[in-house]
């Protein structure tokens, strides 16, 4: 005799049959990419976002600002996605699973404000939705402090008369994938999931198995949410340590030392840099300290690393870059994004560079992912044509290792006397004209890339 389908199996069946849908709250990188992946598997998705421009992009099939997804094709090939700026529209979409993908940061700090804002709306949508007697679910994909489950999510359910675990399943399924596809994609990376109740975890395993090759269940939602914070913290500590070592030991080529060290099986590769940017890594210590308590004596070195990191660019500039760039009258900052081949500039060191170099007589910025207007709006700087514009620069600060910068033969545009500061060694090994002064962050003060390394270095892909 075959067993009766579980509640989780019935939910998945309803989603697959398109009798119910996934509702996404916040359609930015995380929310839109969730819609993209689920809709490709035939699941109906309904997204709500406060930004009309974002909603319009999704209606046009433009899911990611990284341009990884070919424009338009999801809507062209399926009718599985709708997007709206009216949250109450989701009530008509038979939403059975709500994914929360709203921002949880304000500036450089974690912030639960938007989560608090959307929870009552999600509850009202749940109460007013027809889902065929199945139990709806709320899964949080945004990065959160685990405590917020108990202080925000569950109280909001109770306040609207919904009993967690009975009327609504709750869980955390943090995102750790990267958008450029390949081995770090949502499909390929193991997905950590955890529910507040075993039923929630069971549903999460089945749901996320639709889009992820491997789903790893956590003990519960709190451990699932905290994994995201801690894995980012480990990375933050490593990067901050690499940066501090490069300042502490200027007599050493610290980039070289760290590359050599990384040939040991249990040591990741860290490259000293101009700073730690992005949504995730720089915030991890703050989530950790908030969760552990600001006075937690065991988190002293996390606190120290945060303080070091806050002052880092200024210290790097004073110790190494100021003297190098002081005679430059026409500097270009190449790359606004904090990471290669993406339009993401949150806490990018390019912003620090623009700030400290603002008194340069001619300061410009270029990034292939940002329009002239974008750069003007974000940094108040003009741009230049790349690579031709390099001809009239006597200083180049190469922040972002975009493919466009890696692949372009820039040598003929860069004249003798030009100073190049290269964040990740994107141009190391290039045959620049005699008299070009090249400095890769983390190396000794100024080196000629051609002659300084008589021995080949271990080859590994660099990570930011
Ligand atoms: N981008 C990443 O690489 C990444 C990776 C892992 C986790 N995260 C986390 O995912 C969450 C979302 O990040 P993101 O990168 O998608 O941000 P994002 O800025 O790209 O998108 C957030 C979207 O939410 C919308 N929004 C803002 N307030 C809203 C509201 N009240 N109701 C509905 N929508 C609202 C914004 O208009 C925006 O489109 C954050 O917690 C972030 O830390 C991001």
The stretch 216-224 carries a mean pLDDT of 98
Atom of ligand 1 nearest to the CA of 121: 32
- Please name the residue whose Cα sits nearest to atom 10 of ligand 1: 142
Atom of ligand 1 nearest to the CA of 344: 1
Q: pLDDT grade, residue 458 (50/70/90)?
A: low
Q: What is the phi/psi pair of residue 363, to 5°?
A: -115, 125
pLDDT tens-digit series, residues 345-370:
999 999 999 999 999 999 999 999 99
Which CATH number is 7-219 given? 3.40.50.720
- Please name the residue whose Cα sits nearest to atom 9 of ligand 1: 142
Residues with CB under 6 A from ligand 1: 25-31, 48-51, 54, 101-105, 114, 117-118, 142-143, 175, 279-280
Q: Where are the domains of the chain?
A: 7-219, 229-309, 312-440
Checking if the pLDDT of 404 tops 50, the result is yes
Cα 108 to middle of ligand 1, angstroms:
14
Beta strands in 322-414 (DSSP E): 330-334, 362-366, 395-398
User: 384, 401 in Cβ contact below 8 A?
Assistant: no
96-117 burial: b if 16+ Cβ within 10 Å, else e = bbbbbbbebbeeeebebebbee
Report the chain's terminal Cα–Cα distance, integer Å.
Answer: 55
User: Do 229-309 and 312-440 fold alike per CATH?
Assistant: no
Nearest alpha-carbon partner for 315 in 248, 413, 382, 409: 248
Cα 25 to middle of ligand 1, angstroms:
9
Atom of ligand 1 nearest to the CA of 65: 20
Checking if the pLDDT of 133 tops 60, the result is yes
Nearest alpha-carbon partner for 81 in 102, 101, 100, 55: 55
Decide if domain 229-309 falls under CATH 3.40.50.720.
Answer: no
- Please name the residue whose Cα sits nearest to atom 25 of ligand 1: 26
Cα 399 to middle of ligand 1, angstroms:
24
Cα 26 to middle of ligand 1, angstroms:
6
Cα 365 to middle of ligand 1, angstroms:
26
Q: What's residue 61's pLDDT?
A: 82
How many CA atoms does the CB half-sphere of 32 hold within 13 Å?
28
In the block, residue with structure tokens 């620049």: 432
Q: pLDDT grade, residue 454 (50/70/90)?
A: low
- Please name the residue whose Cα sits nearest to atom 38 of ligand 1: 28
- Please name the residue whose Cα sits nearest to atom 12 of ligand 1: 103
In words, the CATH class of domain 312-440 is alpha beta
pLDDT tens-digit series, residues 241-260:
999 999 999 889 999 999 99
Cα 58 to middle of ligand 1, angstroms:
14
């Amino acid at each position: 005799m075959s067993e009766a389908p579980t509640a989780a199996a019935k939910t998945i069946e309803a989603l697959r049959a398109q009798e119910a849908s996934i509702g996404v709250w916040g359609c930015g990188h995380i929310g839109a990419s969730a819609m993209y992946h689920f809709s490709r598997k035939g699941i109906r998705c309904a997204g709500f976002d406060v930004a009309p421009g974002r909603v319009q992009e999704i209606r046009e099939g433009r899911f990611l600002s990284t341009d990884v997804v070919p424009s338009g094709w999801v809507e062209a090939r399926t009718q599985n996605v709708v997007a709206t700026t009216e949250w109450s529209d989701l009530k008509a979409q038979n939403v059975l699973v709500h994914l929360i993908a709203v921002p949880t940061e304000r500036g450089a700090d974690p912030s639960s404000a938007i989560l608090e804002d959307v929870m009552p709306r999600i509850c009202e949508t749940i109460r007013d939705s027809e889902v065929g007697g199945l139990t709806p679910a709320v899964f949080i994909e945004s990065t959160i402090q685990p405590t917020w489950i108990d202080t925000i999510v569950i109280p909001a359910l109770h306040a609207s008369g919904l009993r967690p675990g009975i009327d609504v399943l709750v869980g955390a399924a943090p995102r750790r994938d990267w958008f450029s596809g390949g081995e770090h994609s949502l499909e390929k990376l193991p997905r950590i999931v955890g529910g507040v109740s075993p039923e929630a975890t069971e549903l999460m395993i089945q749901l996320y198995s639709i889009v992820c090759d491997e789903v790893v269940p956590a003990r519960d939602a709190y451990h699932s949410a905290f994994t995201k914070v801690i894995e980012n913290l480990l990375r933050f500590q490593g990067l901050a340590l690499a940066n501090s070592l490069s300042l502490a030991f200027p007599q050493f080529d610290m980039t070289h030392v760290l590359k050599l060290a990384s040939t040991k099986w249990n040591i990741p590769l860290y490259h000293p840099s101009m700073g730690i940017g992005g949504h995730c890594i720089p915030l991890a210590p703050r989530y950790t300290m908030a969760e552990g308590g600001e006075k937690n004596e065991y988190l002293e070195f996390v606190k120290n690393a945060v303080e070091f990191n806050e002052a880092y660019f200024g210290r790097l500039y004073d110790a190494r870059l100021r003297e190098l760039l002081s005679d430059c009258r026409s500097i270009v900052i190449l790359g606004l994004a904090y990471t290669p081949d993406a339009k993401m500039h949150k806490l990018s060191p390019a912003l620090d560079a623009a700030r400290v170099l603002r008194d340069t007589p001619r300061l410009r910025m270029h990034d292939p992912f940002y329009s002239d207007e974008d750069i003007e709006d974000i940094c108040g700087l003009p741009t230049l044509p790349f690579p031709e514009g390099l001809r009239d620069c006597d200083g180049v600060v190469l922040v972002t290792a975009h493919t466009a910068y890696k692949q372009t033969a820039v040598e003929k545009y860069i004249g003798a006397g030009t100073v190049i500061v290269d964040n990740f060694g994107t141009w190391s090994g290039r045959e620049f004209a005699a008299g070009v002064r090249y400095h890769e962050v983390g190396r000794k003060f100024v080196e000629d890339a051609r002659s300084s390394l008589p021995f080949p270095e271990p080859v590994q892909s660099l990570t930011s």
